[in-house]
Amino acid sequence: MKRTQQIELTNMCIIRNGDDILVMDKIDSEFENTITFPGGHVEPNESIEKSVIREIKKETGIDIKEPHLKSIVNFNLGNQNKEFIFVYEAEYNLKTSKGNIKQTYEGKTYWLHKDKIRFCKLNQVIETVYNT
């Protein structure tokens, strides 16, 4: 019996600024037409934490400090492959974060009040992790 398999490692980060949360309307992925959190893939030989810091900088233009692991989501991708999404949380404020929010080809990024998120069209990952 084979005990190894392909695993895709990805991350996303819930970035809070008081009662607001940074969200993305992705236009370039399976998350298209839903609200998601910024994040991306883990590169070979990269730690999970460093990958989330790099991806947040790439997708939003801001530097986050000390992201905290919130949860891990396990998806079966078919063909016996799996994806692990490492979901982090970080605080955004002028003392701990640098940079202005930027827009990229991946989608629109903006602050949304935490109470309004539940009224948006959420993807399966966001529904799973946001309420935990």
**pLDDT given for residue 49 in this prediction:** 95
Q: Which two tokens stand for residue 88?
A: 């982090």
Query: For 16-65, how does the pLDDT look when each residue is reduced to its tens digit (9 = 90+)?
Result: 999 999 998 877 666 667 788 999 999 999 999 999 999 999 888 888 88
Distance of CA 20 to the CA centre of its chain: 15
- How many Cβ atoms sit within 10 Å of the Cβ of residue 54? 16
Mean pLDDT value of segment 73-80: 73
Going by C-alpha positions, the residue among 19, 24, 17, 20 that lies closest to residue 90 is 17
Instruction: Classify residue 94 by its DSSP letter.
Output: T
**pLDDT given for residue 61 in this prediction:** 87
**CB neighbour list of residue 59: distance below 8 Å, 6 or more residues apart:** 24, 38, 39, 40, 104, 106, 109
Local structure of 95: helix, strand or coil: coil
d(CA 79, CA 20): 39
pTM exceeding 0.75: yes
Query: For 88-114, how does the pLDDT look when each residue is reduced to its tens digit (9 = 90+)?
Result: 999 887 655 555 677 777 778 899 998
d(CA 97, CA 64): 5
